[in-house]
Amino acid sequence: MTPEEFRIAGHQLIDWIADYRAGIPDRPVQSAVKPGDVAGALPSTPPSEPEELAALLRDLDEIIVPGLMQVQHPRHTGWFPSNATLASVLGDITSSGIGALGISWQSAPALTELEEVVCEWMRQLTGLSEGWHGAIQDTASTGCLVAMLAARERAADYVSERGGLQSLPAPLTVYTSEHAHSAVPKAALLAGFGRSNIRTLSTDPVTHALDPAALRAAIEKDVNEGRVPAAIVVSIGTTATTAVDPLAEILEIAAGYGIWVHVDAAMAGSALLLPEYRWLVEGIEGFTTPDGVRVPPADSLGWNPHKWMGTILDTSLLYVREPERLIRVMSTNPSFLRNAVSDARTATEYRDWGIPLGRRFRALKLWFHLRLDGVEAIRERLRRDLANAQRLARLVAAEPDWNVVAPVALQTVCIRHEPPGLTGEALDAHTLAWADALNHSGVGTVTPAVVQGRWLVRISIGVESTEWPDVEAVWSAAKDLAAREANERRPE
């Protein structure tokens, strides 16, 4: 394809994307395809000759789009928001069109330095001090793994430079909440800690946040039994209920043992754009206790602009206090990348801040998003979602047989329909039934989750196009379908 052919095809594709986005509200939210439907509708062998773009666009309309959950739909309230603002889509297209190769500063100076600039912008916008230094990862899962690798090496005095974990005289341990994202234990496992050295701790029965007393007890037990506490992962906005772990109390506990503290704010980090929500990470910069003890700051913080804020995947920020700890663990300097700049260490080499060698020009997505949409418009949208969540919670609480079953800390409302006479497993079956019915209806999507041994339903508000009538439509469907399921379960 020549540049001129690309120009013609690109115009057609942009028109298709714009039409698709405009038509999303008219589509069912959840796909109705069955396993194998999409693959069965596509040729089993690759094309031997070029095809017209029109044929591709036709297959997008008829095969691909019907096989997708419409996560940009205004009535998608399942999981967490996974926004892809069109401003950031333009940045993504630009990144792909330029095709820069980010394997070193020398290979793409602008790629590296724009990333430094947008990470600095985001540091300022979220109220972090100048002591934090950021890089763009693909996801918070990868960011958590990078943090766990750095934590492991600090706790083990960089044992990988010698005999590795197998040479340690005592196992290293990791601590996190029972409601932490599944990426946290996965990162600990991939970092080599071992499942038996991951401590999944109990939470407060009301707030569902990590219990500091349980954390302290677990650490003391491990130390007394000869283990070495290496890392604590603090959840700011847990997956099920958006619970907020008490960061300051955790930092104070960690300070006594020199434990690496990673703050996982994958979805909730967007709220830090709002000054009134900086309480989410209170203590992150360190503090002095009333009795004069200095508590150091957290070591790392990860959050995803590609969730609620809306910069298209894959745009995850990882901030650290001491980049040199990442560099010591991740650094690689093969001969084919040697140059005067890298030898002199006068420029940032982001390959030493994470796992991959090659990097896409991800910073363009944030750059386009911030410049074309503007920060104040993003903040206004976040406040809209927070207000709509509170409004929904009030409606649910006022409805007979309905309960809000977790504090509404952010934009996710956890609810349960509890008709008289339904308890235990029967209530769980009812909860799953009406949630599934709502999802299959195409009206909207919700996500069930287990908290304290019982199923609840999450309504997570935050898609870019979601307005109050959309939330109201999901709530109305939930009430109708729950009532229908309850009537069907009622004994004759």
Q: 21 and 146 share a domain?
A: no
Q: Which of 160, 294, 175, 162 is nearest to 228 (CA)?
A: 175
Q: Flag whether 84 is in a domain.
A: no
Q: Flag whether 362 is in a domain.
A: yes
Question: Which strands, in side-by-side order, build the sheet including 198-201?
Answer: 133-137, 316-320, 300-303, 260-264, 228-235, 172-177, 198-201
Over residues 140-167, the pLDDT tens digits come to 999 999 999 999 999 999 999 999 998 9
Q: 201 and 62 share a domain?
A: no
Q: Flag whether 82 is in a domain.
A: no
Q: 227 and 262 share a domain?
A: yes
Pairwise CA distance, residues 128 & 273, whole Å: 10
Over residues 327-374, the pLDDT tens digits come to 999 988 776 676 666 654 678 999 999 999 999 999 999 999 999 999
Q: Flag whether 78 is in a domain.
A: no
Over residues 101-130, the pLDDT tens digits come to 999 999 999 999 999 999 999 999 999 999
Q: 336 and 256 share a domain?
A: yes
Over residues 235-244, the pLDDT tens digits come to 999 999 999 9
Q: 147 and 291 share a domain?
A: yes
Q: Flag whether 227 is in a domain.
A: yes
Share of the chain above pLDDT 70, in %: 97
Q: Flag whether 88 is in a domain.
A: no
Q: 190 and 295 share a domain?
A: yes
Grade residue 489 by pLDDT with cuts at 50, 70 and 90: low
CB 235 within 8 A of CB 177: yes
**What CATH number does residue 433 fall under?**
3.90.1150.10
Give the domain-ending residue among 349, 373, 397.
373
Grade residue 487 by pLDDT with cuts at 50, 70 and 90: confident
For residue 346, the model assigns a pLDDT of 79
Per the prediction, the chain carries an average pLDDT of 95
How do beta strands 294-295 and 300-303 pair? unpaired
**What CATH number does residue 169 fall under?**
3.40.640.10
**Containing domain of residue 414, as a range?**
375-489
Q: Flag whether 77 is in a domain.
A: no
Give the domain-ending residue among 358, 373, 388.
373
Place of tokens 């394997």: 103
Q: 322 and 405 share a domain?
A: no
Residue 198 has pLDDT above 80, yes or no: yes
For residue 415, the model assigns a pLDDT of 98
Q: Flag whether 76 is in a domain.
A: no
- 3-state helix, strand, coil split of the chain in percent (to 5) is 50, 15, 40
Q: 100 and 49 share a domain?
A: no
Over residues 452-474, the pLDDT tens digits come to 999 999 999 999 999 999 999 99
Pairwise CA distance, residues 84 & 303, whole Å: 16
Q: How many CB atoms lie within 10 A of CB 243?
A: 27
| 404: β partners | 415
